[in-house]
């Protein structure tokens, strides 16, 4: 029989290790920023501009011969990958300055593949994104993340307290930065689907953080004689079961999406898997620690006037 683990009765001293956790996070954030500054993100056609060509073959094909065919016809920078099955191939072409008619590139690619490869190659889809549009999408995507974080700052400040708001935003910036750092390290293509996944990670991580903060506020009303660190540590432990179960069920779906979803959803699933893992870590180790270091305590959440009014009640 598998051992039973009762997370609801756990009493792990998470905040006792907050200095080490914060130190690790700071190092990882600095490494991620360095990777983003030096290697940068491998932006897809959505952001850089270029042409995307989907072709189909009557039978399974190898990618290396296709890459060689394209290289022999002056398409050395083309990215070739399977799109679903080994008979469906997706080709991404960066913009070519020396060719003003970018849309005609798909016909050149088709001719190159028909001339040197198996018969029956079929052109199924062509998408073209101009450099100006790609740059605009990149800027708008960055603004979307900034607006989301700013909106979250206002919401949590109104819903809880400004120190909680700052702590939540710090945890979210931590999650987004590490996720982007992972993509800078691995050079996995960063497209609109991955950007959508990063925004989804912000929502997922915030949900976990709000649950922890709500429990902290409730604990301050119940555990009136305990220290601030004990109250926060108890809140993290009480929400641990919910955090782990939610993360595990979400990861099961995302792993299935990665394995069965095909090439079109691989990068999206990877971004969410990494983001959920990082978000779970920050909900347990970073969110409460950030609130504690920002000075959240009983006096902040339970004003003296309110307590005095309760004491005068017969």
Q: Report the pLDDT value the prediction gives residue 98, as an integer from 0 to 100.
A: 58
pLDDT one-digit tens code per residue, 195-214: 889 888 888 888 888 888 88
CA torsion through residues 40, 137, 135, 191, sign: positive
- pLDDT tier, 131 (very low <50, low <70, confident <90, very high otherwise): low
Q: How far apart are CA 175 and CA 247, in angstroms?
A: 15
- pLDDT tier, 307 (very low <50, low <70, confident <90, very high otherwise): very low
pLDDT one-digit tens code per residue, 257-305: 888 877 778 889 999 999 999 999 998 888 888 888 888 777 766 655 5
Residue 137 has pLDDT above 60, yes or no: yes
* Phi, psi for 36 (deg, rounded to 5): -65, -35
Provide mean pLDDT across the span 114-136. 72
Percent residues over pLDDT 90 in the chain: 16
Q: Are 274 and 197 in contact (CB under 8 A)?
A: no
pLDDT one-digit tens code per residue, 104-121: 777 777 777 777 666 778
Give residue limits of the domains in the chain: 12-42+133-301, 50-129
Strand segments, DSSP code E, in 25-162 are 42-43, 50-56, 79-83, 85-93, 122-129
Q: How far apart are CA 207 and CA 213, in angstroms?
A: 10
For the chain, give the mean pLDDT.
80
Longest dimension (CA), the chain: 94
pLDDT one-digit tens code per residue, 3-38: 444 445 567 788 888 889 889 999 999 999 999 999
Q: Are 222 and 232 in contact (CB under 8 A)?
A: no
Residue 312 has pLDDT above 50, yes or no: no
Q: How far apart are CA 109 and CA 69, in angstroms?
A: 9
Residue 256 has pLDDT above 80, yes or no: yes
Residue 132 has pLDDT above 70, yes or no: no
Q: What are the distances in angstroms from CA 251 to CA 122, 243, 276, 277, 300?
A: 37, 12, 7, 8, 36
Q: Report the pLDDT value the prediction gives residue 103, as an integer from 0 to 100.
A: 57
Q: Report the pLDDT value the prediction gives residue 314, as an integer from 0 to 100.
A: 39
- pLDDT tier, 96 (very low <50, low <70, confident <90, very high otherwise): low
Q: How far apart are CA 49 and CA 47, in angstroms?
A: 6
Output 150-156 pairs: Cβ under 8 A, ≥24 positions apart. Answer: 152/202, 152/206, 156/210, 156/213
Give the residue among 52, 96, 104 at the shortest CA–CA distance from 74. Answer: 96
User: Between residues 275 and 90, which one has the greater pLDDT?
Assistant: 275
Q: How far apart are CA 268 and CA 198, in angstroms?
A: 9
Percent residues over pLDDT 70 in the chain: 85
Helices 240-260 and 192-222, axial angle in degrees (round to 10): 170
Q: Residue 116, class by beta-carbon neighbours within 10 Å (0-12 exposed, 13-18 middle, 19+ buried)?
A: middle
- pLDDT tier, 311 (very low <50, low <70, confident <90, very high otherwise): very low
Domain 12-42+133-301 superfamily per CATH: Multidrug efflux transporter AcrB transmembrane domain (1.20.1640.10)
Tokens, residue 112: 């190159």
pLDDT one-digit tens code per residue, 150-168: 887 787 777 777 888 888 8
Q: Report the pLDDT value the prediction gives residue 5, as an integer from 0 to 100.
A: 47
Residue 83 has pLDDT above 90, yes or no: no
Residue 186 has pLDDT above 70, yes or no: yes
Residue 252 has pLDDT above 90, yes or no: yes
Q: Report the pLDDT value the prediction gives residue 183, as an integer from 0 to 100.
A: 93
Q: Report the pLDDT value the prediction gives residue 290, as an integer from 0 to 100.
A: 86
Q: Report the pLDDT value the prediction gives residue 308, as an integer from 0 to 100.
A: 46
Provide mean pLDDT across the span 25-54. 86
Q: Are 122 and 103 in contact (CB under 8 A)?
A: no
Q: How far apart are CA 184 and CA 310, in angstroms?
A: 55
| CATH number assigned to the domain with residue range 50-129, chosen from the 4 options 3.40.50.1970, 3.30.70.100, 3.30.70.3400, 3.30.365.10 | 3.30.70.3400
DSSP assigned state of 314: -
pLDDT one-digit tens code per residue, 210-230: 888 888 888 888 887 788 888
């Amino acid at each position: 029989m598998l051992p039973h683990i009762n997370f609801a009765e756990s009493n792990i001293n998470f905040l006792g290790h907050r200095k080490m956790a914060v130190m690790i996070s700071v190092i990882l954030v600095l490494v991620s920023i360095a990777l983003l500054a030096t290697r940068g993100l491998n932006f897809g056609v959505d952001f850089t501009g270029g042409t995307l060509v989907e072709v189909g073959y009557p039978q399974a094909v190898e990618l290396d011969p296709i890459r060689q065919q394209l290289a022999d016809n002056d398409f050395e920078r083309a990215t070739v990958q399977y799109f679903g099955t080994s008979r469906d191939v997706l080709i991404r072409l960066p913009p070519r300055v020396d060719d003003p008619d970018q849309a005609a590139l798909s016909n050149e690619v088709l001719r190159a593949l028909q001339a040197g490869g198996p018969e029956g190659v079929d052109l199924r889809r062509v998408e073209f994104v101009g450099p100006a549009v790609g740059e605009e999408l990149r800027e708008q995507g960055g603004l979307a993340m900034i607006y989301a974080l700013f909106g979250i700052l206002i919401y949590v400040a109104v819903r809880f307290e400004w120190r909680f708001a700052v702590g939540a935003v710090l945890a979210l910036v931590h999650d987004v930065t590490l996720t982007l750092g992972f993509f800078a390290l691995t050079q996995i293509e960063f497209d609109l689907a991955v950007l959508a996944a990063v925004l989804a990670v912000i929502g997922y991580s915030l949900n976990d953080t709000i649950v922890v903060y709500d429990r902290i506020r409730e604990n301050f009303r119940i555990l009136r004689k305990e220290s601030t660190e004990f109250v926060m540590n108890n809140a993290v432990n009480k929400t641990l079961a919910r955090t782990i179960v939610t993360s595990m069920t979400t990861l099961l779906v995302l792993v299935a999406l990665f394995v069965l979803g095909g090439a079109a959803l691989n990068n999206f699933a990877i971004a969410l898997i990494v983001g959920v893992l990082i978000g779970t870590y920050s909900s347990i180790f970073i969110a409460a620690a950030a609130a504690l270091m920002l000075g959240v305590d009983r006096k902040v959440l339970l004003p003296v006037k309110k307590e005095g009014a309760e004491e005068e009640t017969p």
